[in-house]
Amino acid sequence: MDARLAKEELRRQMLQKLRAIPAEYVTEQSARLRHVLQSLLDTERALAVFMYAALPHEIDLLPLISLYPRHAFYFPRCLPEKRLVFHRVTDPTNQLRPGIMGIRTPHETLPTLPTRQADLVIVPGLAFTATGCRLGYGGGYYDRLIADCPVVPTVSLAMNEQLLPELPTDTHDMRVARVFSPKE
């Protein structure tokens, strides 16, 4: 089986597995993993942090906005050619609304920041390896972002259920610099 077909099958399996996890468990893991990020976010310098609005089976990052008010948080909006633009969000309840695949997306009138000016990018995914390989949702949006900005630090947060010893990969698949898990 080629990597593309293997990734499609693994995406299907991981989505099924993650959607079966109880919401309370995802909430608990989200709190643990936000705490793990303290080492990166506890700084006097204001940071520009690119992150995502979680789907129900993903790690919820929204509390970071109130926990770290000195930092600026930016959320992605999909553009043609499978590119992302990041908009500053200060009030997720009023500034994010359902977009493609139900992903909460910022309004296009909110201020943007060029990707190369980010201090940290928190990258979503379905599965990860300890060495930074990731299985995304198949659009390649974050692979393009990481390739375009190789000097911007990238991290992912993974529940133990998302950690695998290896993943099928293609040459265009980009690694994140670090994967944080509850084992940290």
Q: What is the dihedral of CA 170, 175, 180, 181, to 10 degrees?
A: 10
The model carries a pTM of 0.95
Q: How far apart are CA 86 and CA 82, in angstroms?
A: 13
Tell me the residue range of the domain where 170 lies: 3-180
Pick the closest to residue 112 from 87, 145, 92, 135 (CA basis).
87
Q: Is the pLDDT of residue 103 over 90?
A: no
Query: If you compute the radius of gyration of the chain from its CA atoms, what whole number of angstroms results?
Result: 16
Mean pLDDT of the 102-128 span: 95
Tell me what pLDDT residue 1 has.
64
What CATH code is carried by the domain that includes residue 40? 3.40.50.10420
**Tens-place pLDDT, residues 17-52:** 999 999 999 999 999 999 999 889 999 999 999 999
**Tens-place pLDDT, residues 164-174:** 999 999 889 99
Q: How far apart are CA 100 and CA 150, in angstroms?
A: 26
Mean pLDDT of the 61-82 span: 94
* Domains held by the chain: number: 1
Query: Could you tell me which residues are beta bridge partners of residue 135?
Result: 127
